[in-house]
Amino acid sequence: MRDDEVGAGVFVGPPEARRLVGLVSGQLLLETADGNREFVTVLGPDDLWRVVLAHKSAPEPERAVYREDLL
């Protein structure tokens, strides 16, 4: 998996009725007795709300200034 694939949409259903079920979040490598296995990890509906609430590049909100003479 390439780094630019993180955040890609994961869809199910036929092409004319696809539904978004998650976003690619990373990669998981498991080392077992049978050899290494590689998986793609996905954030599903239970975690997608965090993407909207915690955007990392969002600017800090401006702080309100409260003054006694304006109340």
pLDDT tens column, 31-42: 989 999 999 999
- The pair of structure tokens assigned to 48 is 């997608």
pLDDT tens column, 34-68: 999 999 999 888 877 766 665 566 677 777 788 78
Going by their DSSP bridges, the two strands 9-12 and 19-32 should be labelled as antiparallel
Residue 69 falls within a domain, yes or no? no
What is the H or E stretch that residue 45 is in? helix 45-53
Residue 21 is part of which domain span? 3-55
Q: Are 24 and 42 in contact (CB under 8 A)?
A: yes
Residue 9 falls within a domain, yes or no? yes
Q: How many domains does the chain have?
A: 1
